[in-house]
């Protein structure tokens, strides 16, 4: 992204003098620009859904003698102070510069005007969503600009490719009809903002179907969570930020080389605290066991849940979940139901019912004594908010006392035998449990060129079927019997 934050630059105090009613009026050109920025924020309703909310936040009235429209005097200083303070507030809250956003808006609106005839044709034909999808395919996923497109559309794509993510975001949102098409908007206060969020979310669901990996992207689940909030919290600037984050995440995931280099979801800063061992649930007792066994794997953790139902004696139920922890300004976990293995192996889209993103808190540093899962980004019935406490070293699970254990998810159980045999410029070779070798041609799967000896590569066996697994790439190739 281009660095457009100009909040720290010195003000240019160049002035001009004009004659008005026989008097000289000194006009600060920078003050005129500042006035225009404030007016644009107001007209576009970027920060608040009504003009009155903005004025209340500033602490001034929008009209009369208190207006920021007057020239010179203390109001010039106040205008600069107000804009820079608003910019600081919103940068601290969501990491977006108002100056950069307004410049991007001007660029996007200019492109909308330049290609107005083309885009109006898309609107009349009812294919504007398809046009937005094509823009994402070209500018985010790096697809070639096909000769099948008209010359004007090819020119639009090439110009959008030259701009940064903020300009692209604003352009897409204007084309989707959720932002005003001009900085001189006269639309007034925002209404139906939640429906506009839902419209953008549904558009990205269509985009994410391109690849199984994109469906469970944390920014999309955060988007989903935001939709549940009250409408007053939904604003245009937040929609712009969410959209820009989704586009940025997609551009990272679209690069097979970068995914291979950073590893499975590593772009979201995966963390590996010392969690191996037993953990007691909040409702655990000797009479009714409710505990967890945590095991670190090559790609994250497996959390095995053991519990006894009140109506049963002598039997313990076992369930297991794949868990990965990430920290990138927000601490959250990716928890997958074991049935998600069916989607991975069949290269189907991952169901929202099979994945959830709780926030987590570790108590006790790199070797925690407590874990709290809370504030879920996506609600599911099979994994709920909870707090786990590490069991003492001498604690023994009741399974060692001869109690019967029932695996509730037996149908989804699989084995992963990790035995990488060789990596060459032409192929990658793995061995199974019996020592039989399998080769995969690199030329057939270009993303394999970045594989290393430290990657999770091996053989997965599930329901009698076997797959050569490149788990860090989420690539699973069926082995023909």
Specify whether the CB–CB gap between 43 and 184 falls below 8 A. yes
- pLDDT at position 140 is 87
Q: Chain centroid to CA 40: how far? A: 28
Query: How many Cα neighbours within 13 Å face the side chain of 431?
Result: 8
| Spatial CB neighbours of 244, under 8 Å, sequence gap ≥ 6 | 96, 165, 166, 169
| Spatial CB neighbours of 303, under 8 Å, sequence gap ≥ 6 | 292, 293, 294, 320, 321, 323, 335
Taking the C-alpha atoms of residue 189 and residue 52, their distance in angstroms, rounded to an integer, is 9
Question: Rounded to the nearest 10 degrees, what angle do helices 151-162 and 128-139 cross at?
Answer: 50
Give the number of residues written for the chain.
481
Specify whether the CB–CB gap between 349 and 340 falls below 8 A. no
160: DSSP letter: H
First to last CA, the chain: 49
Specify whether the CB–CB gap between 246 and 219 falls below 8 A. yes
DSSP β-ladder status, 315-327 and 404-407: parallel
Name the residue among 198, 197, 287, 248 with its Cα closest to residue 95.
248
Beginning with the edge strand found earlier in the chain, give each strand of the sheet holding 414-417 in spatial order. Answer: 414-417, 457-462, 465-470, 475-478
Specify whether the CB–CB gap between 332 and 326 falls below 8 A. yes
Question: Rounded to the nearest 10 degrees, what angle do helices 236-253 and 165-175 cross at?
Answer: 120
28: DSSP letter: E
Taking the C-alpha atoms of residue 302 and residue 413, their distance in angstroms, rounded to an integer, is 12
Taking the C-alpha atoms of residue 54 and residue 50, their distance in angstroms, rounded to an integer, is 7
Number of other CB atoms surrounding residue 329 within 10 Å: 6
DSSP letters, 93-114, are: HHS--HHHHHHHHHHHHHHHHH
Instruction: Please state the three-class secondary structure of 29-47 as a single string.
Output: HHHHHHHHHHHHHHHHCCC
Number of other CB atoms surrounding residue 26 within 10 Å: 12
Containing 172, the helix (H) or strand (E) segment is helix 165-175
Taking the C-alpha atoms of residue 54 and residue 58, their distance in angstroms, rounded to an integer, is 6
Task: State pLDDT tens for residues 395-430.
Answer: 988 876 777 889 999 888 888 888 888 888 889 999
- pLDDT at position 376 is 67
- pLDDT at position 350 is 61
Tokens at 84, concatenated: 């820079």
Name the residue among 326, 346, 344 with its Cα closest to residue 335.
326
Tokens at 399, concatenated: 């399974």
- Consecutive sets of 10 residues in the chain, 481 residues long: mean pLDDT of each? 35 36 53 83 86 79 48 67 85 83 92 89 78 90 86 91 91 93 84 89 81 62 74 85 86 57 52 94 90 89 92 87 81 85 71 80 92 77 92 86 84 86 89 90 84 84 87 82 67
- pLDDT at position 65 is 39
- pLDDT at position 11 is 28
Taking the C-alpha atoms of residue 379 and residue 352, their distance in angstroms, rounded to an integer, is 9
- pLDDT at position 214 is 67
Task: State pLDDT tens for residues 337-386.
Answer: 988 877 777 766 566 678 887 889 999 888 999 999 987 656 688 998 99
Task: State pLDDT tens for residues 8-26.
Answer: 332 232 333 344 444 444 4
- 10 Å CB burial of residue 73 (0-12, 13-18, 19+) is exposed
Average model confidence (pLDDT) for the chain? Answer: 80
Taking the C-alpha atoms of residue 73 and residue 66, their distance in angstroms, rounded to an integer, is 13
């Amino acid at each position: 992204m281009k660095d457009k934050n100009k909040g720290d630059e010195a003000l240019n105090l160049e002035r001009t003098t004009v004659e008005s009613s026989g008097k000289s009026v000194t006009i600060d050109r920078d003050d005129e620009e500042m006035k225009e920025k404030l007016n644009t924020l107001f007209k576009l309703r970027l920060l608040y859904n009504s003009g009155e909310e903005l004025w209340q936040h500033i602490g001034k009235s929008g009209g009369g003698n208190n207006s920021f429209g007057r020239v010179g005097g203390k109001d010039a200083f106040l205008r600069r102070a107000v804009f820079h303070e608003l910019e600081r507030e919103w940068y601290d809250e969501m990491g977006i510069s108002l100056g950069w956003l307004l410049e991007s808006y001007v660029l996007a609106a200019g492109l909308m005007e330049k290609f107005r005839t083309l885009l109006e044709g898309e609107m009349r034909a009812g294919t504007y969503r398809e046009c937005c999808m094509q823009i994402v395919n070209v500018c985010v996923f790096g697809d070639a600009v096909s000769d099948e497109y008209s010359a004007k559309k090819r020119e639009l794509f090439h110009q959008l490719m030259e701009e940064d993510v903020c300009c692209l975001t604003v352009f897409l949102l204007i084309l989707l009809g959720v932002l005003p098409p001009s900085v001189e908007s006269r639309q007034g206060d925002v209404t139906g903002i939640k429906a506009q969020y839902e419209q953008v979310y549904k558009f990205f669901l269509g985009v994410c179907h391109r690849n199984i990996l994109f469906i469970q992207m944390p920014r999309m689940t955060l988007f989903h969570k935001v939709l549940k909030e009250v409408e007053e919290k939904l604003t245009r600037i937040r929609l712009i930020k969410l959209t820009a984050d989704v586009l940025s995440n997609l551009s990272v995931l679209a690069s097979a080389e970068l995914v291979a280099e950073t590893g499975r979801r590593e772009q979201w800063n995966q963390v590996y605290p010392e969690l191996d061992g037993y953990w007691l649930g909040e409702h655990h007792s000797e009479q009714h066991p409710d505990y967890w066994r945590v095991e670190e794997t090559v790609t994250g953790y497996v959390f095995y849940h053991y519990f006894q139902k009140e109506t049963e004696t002598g039997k313990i139920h076992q369930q297991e979940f794949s868990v990965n922890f990430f920290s990138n300004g927000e601490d959250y976990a990716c928890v997958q139901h074991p049935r998600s293995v069916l989607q991975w192996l069949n290269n189907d889209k991952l169901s929202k019912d099979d994945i959830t993103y709780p926030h987590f808190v570790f108590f006790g540093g790199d070797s925690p004594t407590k874990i709290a899962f809370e504030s879920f980004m996506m609600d599911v019935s099979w994994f709920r908010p909870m707090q786990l406490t590490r069991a003492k070293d001498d604690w023994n699970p009741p399974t060692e006392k001869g109690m019967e254990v029932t695996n509730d998810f037996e149908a989804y159980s699989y084995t992963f035998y990790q035995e990488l045999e060789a990596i060459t410029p032409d192929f990658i070779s793995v061995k199974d449990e019996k020592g039989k070798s399998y080769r995969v041609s690199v030329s057939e799967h270009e993303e394999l060129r970045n594989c290393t000896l430290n990657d999770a590569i091996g053989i997965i066996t599930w329901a009698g079927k076997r797959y050569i697994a490149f788990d860090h790439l989420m690539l699973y190739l069926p082995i023909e019997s």
